Amino acid sequence: MVVTVPLSVSRPLPVRRVRRRRLSCSCSSPFHPEVERAVESLYGKYREIDSRVAINSARVLTAFKNARIAPHHFGGCTGYGHDDGGGREALDSVFADIFGSESAIVRSQFFSGTHAIACALFAILRPGDELLAVAGAPYDTLEEVIGIRGPSDSNINIGSLKDFGVCYREVPLAADGGLDWDALGCSVRPETRCAFIQRSCGYSWRKSLGVSDIHRAISLIKAQNKDCIVMVDNCYGEFVETSEPPMVRADLIAGSLIKNPGGTIAPCGGYIAGRKELVEAAAARLSAPGLGVDFGSVPGHVMRSLFQGLFLSPQMVGEAIKGGLLIAEVMKFRGYLVQPCPLGPRHDTVQAVQLRSREKLIKFCEAVQRCCPIGSFVKPTPGSTPGYASEVIFADGTFVDGSTSELSCDGPLREPYAVFCQGGTHWTQWALVLGEIFTVI
C-alpha cells in the first residue's frame, strides 16, 4: 500500500533587511592649514624633483650592475680585514662610477665628513704650500683642522695644517653671497697647491654652489695654474643635481655617509673620490703608508648597509629637498628670510631660516625634537661642541646618531640666529613638524 503524503507549499522566508553601516573615513588633512596650502602649491615642483631622482637612480643602478654586485660582497671581515669577499673594492668601484671619478675610497673608518676632508688635505699639502679657500670662510669644524682657530680650552699645538707649515688664505664672497669671480680670476699664486671649494652654505648665510658654479671656478683656477689641485667639500650636495664635481674636472671630493650618500641607512663612514693618485694618498693618510685601501675590517651588516644606503640615496635626497622646499615656502609666507628661496635653484639639502632671536632658535629646535621618532621627550639645549667656536643647538632624534640625512636641524647661537634644516625620509615629516613649530613661534 502506497501512502501519499501531500506536498506542503513552502513559504519564502522573510527577508531580513540589514542596515548597512556606512564606514567612517576621516579624510581631513593632518597638516596645519598653512602647510596644506603650501603643499598644494608645490606639487609641480615636487614632480620636477622626482624627475631628477629618477635620473640619479638610473645612474646608481647602472653602477651597481656594472660592478656585478652580489650577496657575497656583504660578507664583511674582521681583524686586519684581508678577506672581505671583495666588498670594499666593489663599493669603491660603484662609488667612483656614480660620481664620475677615477677612484674612490668609501670606509666606515671615516667618522665624519670633517675627518674625510682632513685626511684629503693632509695627504696633498706639504710645508710651504698654500691652501686657498675660494668660497669664503670654511665650515666651523675645519677651522681647527686648518689652524685658523685653536682649541677653545688651550693654545697647544694640535697638529693643524698651520702647525705643519701650510699657509692659508681665503677669497671673500661677493656682496650677493656668491663667489667673487673677479677676485677668483687672479687669486692663485705659485705656492697655491690646493684650491678648496665648499659646496654647501655651512653655517654661513650664503648661496650654496651648483655644479655649474664649481665648473666655472675650476676653469678660472686651472687657467692660472693647471697643476693646482681643486678639492670640493661635497657634503650635502650629493645627488641634488644630476652631475657631480668630478664630472666637471674637480680633482678631489670628500663627504660623509651619514649625510646624503648613506641614504639614512649607513650607520657611519665617509668617502673620498677623485684622481687615483690623490685618493691613494688620502687612503694612506687614513691608514698608513704601504697599507692604503687594502686594510680595515668592516662587519657584514655594516657593509650591506653601506651598499643599500648608497642605492637608496637619490630617493632620500629627493625627499629631503621637498621638505626643504616646503619649509622655505611656509616660513617665507610668515615673513622670515629663507635661503634658498622657495622657487630658487637648489644645490644642497640644507634649508636655512633666519629666526632673528636666540629664543626662537631654541624653540624651533625643541619643536623639531618633539616630532622626532627617537628621543622625542628630550629637550635640546645649546652648548659647546668640539670643533665649533660658538654655542650650537641640535635637534636630531635620529636612528643613526648625528645623521643629517634623517630629519634634523641645528644652528649656532649667534647672529642672525639662523636654523639649518636638513634630511627627512619623506617630505610629510617636515609638513607635520611645521605644525608643531607654529605652536611656539
Span of 186-195, 210-219, 286-295, 391-400 with lowest mean pLDDT: 286-295
Domain architecture of the chain: domains with CATH: 33-55+314-437 (3.90.1150.60), 58-310 (3.40.640.10)
Taking residues 357-379, what's their average pLDDT? 97
pLDDT recorded at residue 1? 47
Of 25-39, 100-114, 242-256, minimum mean pLDDT range: 25-39
**CB neighbour class for 81 (10 Å; exposed up to 12, middle 13-18, buried from 19):** middle
pLDDT tops 90 at residue 2: no
Band of pLDDT at residue 296, cut at 50, 70 and 90? confident
CA–CA distance from 370 to each of 30, 94, 277, 421, 433 (Å)? 16, 38, 47, 15, 8
* CA-CA-CA-CA dihedral for 146, 148, 149, 155, to nearest 10: 80
Instruction: Assess whether pLDDT exceeds 70 at residue 403.
Output: yes
pLDDT at 15: 52
User: Per-residue pLDDT tens for 64-89?
Assistant: 999 999 999 999 989 988 888 899 99
> What percent of the chain is predicted at pLDDT more than 70?
92
Over residues 244-271, mean pLDDT: 98
Say whether pLDDT at 99 is over 90: yes
What's the predicted TM-score (pTM) here?
Answer: 0.91
